[in-house]
Structure 1
Amino acid sequence: MTKILPFKAVRPAPAFAGLVASRPYEDYSENELRAQLDYNPYSFLHIINPGYKFQHEIGGEKRFGMVRNRYLEFREEGVFQKDENASYYIYEIHSREGSCCGIIAAASIDDYEKDVICRHEDTIAHREELFKEYLKVVGFNTEPVLLTYPDNSVINELLAEKMKMRPEYEFATNNKELHRLWLIDDPEHVSKIRSEFEKQEKIYIADGHHRSASSYLLAKESRENNPNHTGEESYNFFMSYLISESNLRIYEFSRLIRDLNGHTKEEFLILLDEWFRIENRGYEIYKPSKKHHFNMYLDGEFYSLYLRKTNYEFTDSLSELDSFILFEKILKPILGIEDLRYDKRIEYIHGRNDLIELKTRVDSGEFAVGFGMLPASIEEIKQIADENLTMPPKSTYIEPKLRSGLTIYEF
Structure 2
Amino acid sequence: MATIKAFECIRPNEDVADRVAALPYDVYNREEACSEVAREPLSFLAIDRAETQFDSSVDTYANEVYDKARQLLDERIADGTFITDTDKAYYVYELTMNGRVQTGIAACASIDDYQNNIIKKHENTRADKEQDRINHVDRCSAQTGPIFLAYRADDVIRKEVAKAKQEKPLYSFTSPDGIKHRVFKIADKEAVDNIKNAFAGIDDIYIADGHHRAASAVKVGLRRRTSHPDYTGNEEFNYFLSVLFPDEELMIMPYNRVVKDLNGYSVEDFKKLVSEKFDIQESDSAVSPDKKSVFGMYLDKKWYKLIAKKDIISDDPVDGLDVAILQDNLLEPVLGIHDPKTDKRIDFVGGIRGLSELERRCQDDCVLAFSMYPTSIEELFAVADAGRLMPPKSTWFEPKLRSGLFIHRIEE
1:260-288 per-residue CA deviation (whole Å, 9 max, x = no partner) reads: 1111112211221221122222x422222
Query: Which residue of 192, 197, 200 maps to 1:198?
Result: 200
Task: Say what the alpha-carbon RMSD is for the aligned residues.
Answer: 2.0
Secondary structure class of the residue paired with 1:81: strand
- Inter-partner Cα distance in structure 2 for 1:279 and 1:162: 50
Residue aligning to 1:10: 10
Q: Give the whole-Å Cα distance in 2 for the aligned partners of 1:158 and 1:125.
A: 39
Give the AA of the match of 2:296.
N
- Summarize the Cα distance change of 1:28–1:192 in structure 2 as closer, same or farther, 3 Å threshold: same
Matches within 5 A, 1:6-405: 6-25=6-25, 27=27, 36-38=36-38, 40-53=40-53, 55=55, 58=58, 59-60=60-61, 61-281=63-283, 283-309=284-310, 311-312=311-312, 314=314, 316-362=316-362, 364-405=363-404
Partner in structure 2 of residue 407 of structure 1: 406
Q: Does the 8 Å contact 1:107/1:239 carry over to 2?
A: yes
Contact 2:97 2:399 in 1 (8 A): no
Q: TM-score, normalised by structure 1?
A: 0.93
Describe the shift of the 1:53–1:384 C-alpha distance in structure 2 as closer, same or farther (beyond 3 A). closer
Shift of 1:56: 5.3
| Matched letter for residue 268 of structure 1 | F
Change (3 A) 1:168 1:339: same
Deviations 1:196-224, CA, capped at 9 Å, x for gaps:
10110111111111111112222222222
Measure, in 1, the Cα distance between the counterparts of 2:255 and 2:81. Answer: 38
Distance 2:161 2:407 in 1: 21
Q: CA deviation at 1:372?
A: 1.6
Describe the superposition over 1:222-253 as per-residue Cα deviations: whole angstroms up to 9, x where unpaired. 22222212111212111110111111111111
Give 1:178 deviation, angstroms: 2.1
In structure 1, list runs of 5 or more residues that go unmatched.
none
Q: More displaced, 55-64 or 85-94?
A: 55-64
Give the C-alpha shift of residue 365 in structure 1: 4.3
1:129–1:217: 8 Å Cα contact kept in structure 2? no
| CA displacement at 1:94 relative to structure 2 | 2.1
Residue 356 of structure 1 aligns to a residue whose secondary structure is helix
Give the gaps of 5 or more residues in structure 2: none
CA, structure 1 residues 376+182, in 2 after alignment: closer, same or farther (shift >3 Å)? same
Per the TM alignment, residue 29 of structure 1 is displaced from its structure 2 partner at its CA by: 8.8
CA distance in 2, matches of 1:29, 1:225: 34
User: Shift of the alpha carbon at 1:128?
Assistant: 2.1
Distance 1:368 1:32, change over 3 A: closer
| Alignment-mate amino acid for residue 8 of structure 2 | K
Query: What SS does the corresponding residue of 2:353 show, helix, strand or coil?
Result: coil
| Mapped partners of 2:370, 2:229: distance in 1 | 54
TM score, norm. by length of structure 2: 0.93
Distance in structure 1 (CA, Å) of the matches to 2:305 and 2:100: 30
Identity value in percent: 36
Task: Report the alpha carbon displacement of residue 24 of structure 1 after superposing the two structures with TM.
Answer: 2.8
Using the alignment, how far apart are the partners of 1:45 and 1:316 within structure 2?
41
Post-superposition, which runs of at least 4 consecutive aligned residues in structure 1 deviate over 4 A?
Answer: 25-36, 51-57
